[in-house]
Amino acid sequence: MNLFLEPGMLVRHPGQPDWGLGQVQSVIGHRITVNFEHAGKRVLDGNHVVLELVHPPEM
């Protein structure tokens, strides 16, 4: 579930590992906007993808 996501959190998209590390920009309902290192800003449907939280944050 993506219910725990908040702006500023670092995540990875499990189906797109080549996108690299992403920072959550906003969460509005099921729409999650993430800025990825190698793919730029993407708006994702939280009903169809569960993002992986990066622990501890990788820099």
Q: Tens-digit pLDDT profile for the chain (59 aa)? A: 687 899 999 999 999 999 999 999 999 999 999 999 999 999 999 999 999 999 875 55
State the pTM of this model: 0.90
For residue 32 the two structure tokens come to 């999650």
| For the chain, domain boundaries | 10-53
Tell me: cis bond preceding 14? Omega within 30 of 0 counts. no
Q: What is the dihedral of CA 12, 53, 59, 56, to 10 degrees?
A: -150
